[in-house]
Amino acid sequence: MSNRRKLTPDASPRHHFGSEVRRAREAAGLTLADLAAMVPCDPSTVSRIEAGAIAPDSHFAAVCDEAFPEMNGWFSRFYQDSRDWNQPFAEPFKSFPQYEAEATALYCYENALVPGLLQTEPYAREVLSRHPAVTEGEVSERLVARMARQAVLTSDNAPMGWFVVEESVLTHWVGSAKTMYDALMHLTAMCRRPRICIQVLVDAGGHVGMQGSFDIAEQAGARTTVFLSDIADGRIADDGVTVATVSLRFRWLQAQALSPETSTDFIERIAEEKWSSTP
């Protein structure tokens, strides 16, 4: 039985790009291995791009333009015109960075990991590398995207950023002790930025935040959007009922958390006591 992947070009721009790669490749008489050698990459990567399973990068598009000159640069043009799909975020999350970029205020609650907007590069790499079946190339691609996304907090017109993190975020081992120490010290540095507020939820017992992490992107005069995290990569919602429910729960969590000043001291103490001398 053939292992040839079925193409669905109408499923998304990514699938359309992939179907055009296969059409051009087969018309040129090239095998998967032939095109992979030109990139260079593994033939399975070309196969997955053709099937729309993963997004290409700009280099792959440029190689296709060189390999298939009869397309007159179509691959790079299509890639550049489709920035919303070629970012290597998980599918349900793809459009949320745009809401973050347009927000006047951001709210985030995390019960397991340092929020993505506040992660150091080594910490983020450890988190991203734990995704099932992920390749090193995909990890690197997603890492670049995550680090670039953090610019929203340091731009000249940065939104207000309100973050509440569970105490377990600070003690849950991710990577090495140095990775954790540096991650927590980065948090304390971010605490001191004028438009960022970080609070730690300590000894809260059973509470609504145990049901999952979430992000809220609020834009003055426009609809607020939330991202709800779960085991299936989460979902975006902007209906009034969901937004109101999530916003109310954030306010409850914020009210139960330590003050920003006390939280900064608490994070520094955990960094020094748990991570600075851990082998």
Strand order in the sheet with 160-166: 196-201, 160-166, 105-110, 214-218, 225-228, 235-237
So what's the pLDDT on residue 31? 96
Tens-binned pLDDT, residue by residue, of the chain (279 aa): 345 666 766 656 778 899 999 999 999 999 999 999 999 888 888 998 898 877 777 888 999 999 999 999 999 999 887 755 556 676 677 778 878 888 999 999 999 999 999 999 999 999 999 887 777 777 887 888 888 889 889 888 889 999 999 999 999 999 999 999 999 999 999 999 989 999 999 987 778 778 899 999 998 877 899 999 988 888 989 888 999 999 999 999 999 999 999 999 999 999 999 999 755
Number of H helices, E strands in the chain: 13, 6
So what's the pLDDT on residue 2? 47
Residues 6+ apart with CB under 8 A from 139: 125, 128, 129, 131
Q: Where are the domains of the chain?
A: 13-83, 92-275
| Interatomic CA distance for residues 276 and 279, integer angstroms | 9
- The fourth-level CATH superfamily of domain 13-83 is lambda repressor-like DNA-binding domains (1.10.260.40)
Is the pTM of the predicted complex or chain greater than 0.75?
no
Q: Are 97 and 87 in contact (CB under 8 A)?
A: yes
Q: Are 92 and 234 in contact (CB under 8 A)?
A: yes
So what's the pLDDT on residue 169? 96
- CATH for 92-275 (1.10.3470, 3.90.550, 3.30.870, 3.40.50): 3.30.870
Q: Are 19 and 9 in contact (CB under 8 A)?
A: yes
Query: What's the sign of the alpha-carbon dihedral 251, 231, 151, 83?
Result: negative
In Å, the largest CA–CA distance within the chain is 66
Residues 6+ apart with CB under 8 A from 266: 170, 200, 202, 258
So what's the pLDDT on residue 234? 86
Tell me the two tokens of residue 181: 């120490």
User: 105, 125, 103, 104: which is closest to 114 by C-alpha?
Assistant: 125
Tell me how far CA of residue 257 lies from CA of 186, 190, 207, 229, 253, in angstroms: 20, 17, 12, 21, 6
Tell me how far CA of residue 130 lies from CA of 126, 127, 134, 135, 138, in angstroms: 7, 6, 8, 10, 12
